Amino acid sequence: MNKLLVITVLVALLAINAESFRVVRQVDEEPGTLTKLTDAVKSYYDGAVNAASGYLESIKGMKLEEKAKTLYSDTTNVVSTYAGIMNDQIYHIFYPQQ
C-alpha cells in the first residue's frame, strides 16, 4: 500500500512538472495600428531628445556659462557705479550745501 502511494505521488509530480515544461508556440503576428503609432511616437521622441542633447553638448563646448557669468559681474559693477552716482545726485538735490 505504501509503495502504491509513493508511486502515485511521484507520477502526479512528474505529470505536473511535465505540464509546466510545455513550450509556448510563437505566432508571428503583424503589429497593430496602436503599436505602430506608439513606435513612431517613441522614435520621434528619442530623436528629439538626442538632438537636444547634442545641442547642449555644443553649447557647453562654447563656454557660454563662463561668458554669462563674466557679463553678469561686469554689468552689476557698472550698474552699481551709476546707481551710486544717481544716489549722490538725488541727495544733493534734496539737501543742497549751504
Ranges of each domain in the chain? 30-62, 63-98
Please give the Cα distance from 82 to 62 (Å, whole number).
31
- State residue 80's pLDDT score: 94
For the chain, the farthest-separated pair of C-alpha atoms sits apart, in whole angstroms, at 128
pLDDT-derived band at 90 (thresholds 50, 70, 90) equals very high
Take residue 9 and report the three cell numbers written for it.
505521488
Please give the Cα distance from 53 to 57 (Å, whole number).
6
pLDDT-derived band at 22 (thresholds 50, 70, 90) equals low
Take residue 22 and report the three cell numbers written for it.
510545455
Please give the Cα distance from 51 to 55 (Å, whole number).
6
Q: Across all residues in the chain, what is the average pLDDT? A: 82
Q: Of the ranges 4-8, 34-38, 77-81, which one carries the lowest mean pLDDT score?
A: 4-8
Q: pLDDT by residue (tens digit) across 31-76?
A: 788 888 889 999 998 999 899 888 888 877 777 778 888 999 999 9
